[in-house]
Every structure is written in structure tokens, then in C-alpha cells.
């Protein structure tokens, strides 16, 4: 376990060191709340277009999954494992770039940004597929957005890559569980 944590720290320092001031604004935008607002607004509009009068059921499901994923990532992971964020580890502060003005909460395992964005991406992409041939382009777009949001947390200096990977896996599984339940209990409109 110690060698895995050491590898995670070294990978964080390497990836975090790749950042440059010319890219800082982009990554701060991607990690910020405005990108979430844009996405939620777009998913709201898409759910209206796709499900008409029943849109609120599907949109509410996406919001509920977001809330559950966020709660689980904090209370069943961060509060239990209590792994310090890299920006709270004094021995690496002088080796890293902390782009964000503050470090955030004390603990970082798992990344709530990664868990939440992956949960939304998987659930919305599966509930409202937009296909080009056999390819679900909405799912690919949303997963790409979630990956960029997740990586932004390493870039700005507040999460280790392991926090991101574990959060992404958590978000995917929560989304798949709720997608399976929604297929059982909701009839397509």
C-alpha cells in the first residue's frame, strides 16, 4: 500500500508540474462552478426536448444521483479514509503548483468532482442517448467533459490521481445502478 501511495504522489507531482500559467485560466474554469451550471442547463433543456411532459422525472433523477454521489464521496470515503489532499501535505508543498486560491477541505479521497461528473455523464448519456450510427455521441461528449473536469483537480493541485480514479469509478457505478433501476421503474415516454 505504501508503494502505491508513493507512486500516486509521484504521478501527482509529475502531472501537476506540467501546468503553465498560460493554461491556468482554462483549468480553473473547468474546475469551477460555471461549467457545472452550463452542463446542468443543457441537460435540463435536453430532458425537456427528449421526454416532453415527463422531463422532470428524468432531470430529477440526474439531480438525485448527483446528490447521492456527492454525499457518498464525502461521508463514506473522505470522512472514513481521511487522506490529506496534496495541498495539505507540508513536505510536498514546495514541489507542487497550487493554482487554486484555496486548497478546499482537508481530505481528498475520493474526488467528489470526479465522482459527481462521472455519475452525471454516465447517467445522462445512457438516459438520453444521441446516436450517430451506433455511437452514443452524447455519452462520449459527457465522459470527455467529466475526464477534463476530473483532471483539472490534479492540475490545480487539490487531488492525487488515485483520488480521481477512485472517484470516477464510484460515480460510474452509482450511475449504472440508478440507470438499471430507472429502466425497471420508468417506462419510456
The rounded distance, in Å, linking the Cα atoms of 56 and 58 is 6
What does the pLDDT read at residue 126?
A: 94
What does the pLDDT read at residue 54?
A: 83
pTM equals 0.91
The rounded distance, in Å, linking the Cα atoms of 185 and 180 is 9
What does the pLDDT read at residue 55?
A: 86
52-69 core/surface letters (b: 16 or more CB in 10 A; e: else):
eeebeebbebbeebbeeb
> Which residues does the chain have with pLDDT short of 70?
187-189
What does the pLDDT read at residue 27?
A: 96
What does the pLDDT read at residue 109?
A: 96
Residue with cell 448519456: 125
- Residue 145: other Cβ atoms inside 10 A: 17
What does the pLDDT read at residue 188?
A: 52
CB 121 within 8 A of CB 95: no
Amino acid at each position: 500500500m505504501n508503494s502505491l501511495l508513493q507512486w500516486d504522489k509521484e504521478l501527482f507531482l509529475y502531472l501537476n508540474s506540467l501546468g503553465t500559467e498560460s493554461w491556468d485560466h482554462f483549468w480553473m474554469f473547468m474546475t469551477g462552478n460555471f461549467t457545472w451550471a452550463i452542463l446542468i442547463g443543457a441537460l435540463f433543456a435536453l430532458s425537456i426536448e427528449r421526454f416532453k411532459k415527463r422531463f422532470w422525472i428524468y432531470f430529477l433523477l440526474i439531480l438525485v444521483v448527483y446528490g447521492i454521489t456527492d454525499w457518498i464521496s464525502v461521508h463514506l470515503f473522505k470522512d472514513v479514509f481521511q487522506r490529506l489532499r496534496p495541498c495539505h501535505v507540508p513536505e510536498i508543498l514546495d514541489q507542487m503548483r497550487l493554482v487554486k486560491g484555496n486548497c478546499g477541505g482537508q481530505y481528498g479521497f475520493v474526488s467528489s468532482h470526479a465522482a459527481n461528473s462521472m455519475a452525471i455523464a454516465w447517467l445522462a448519456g445512457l438516459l438520453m442517448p444521441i446516436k450517430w450510427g451506433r455511437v452514443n455521441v452524447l455519452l462520449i461528449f459527457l465522459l470527455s467533459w467529466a475526464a477534463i473536469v476530473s483532471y483539472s483537480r490534479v492540475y490545480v493541485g487539490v487531488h492525487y490521481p488515485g483520488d480521481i480514479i477512485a472517484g470516477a469509478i464510484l460515480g460510474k457505478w452509482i450511475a449504472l445502478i440508478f440507470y438499471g433501476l430507472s429502466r425497471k421503474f420508468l417506462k419510456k415516454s
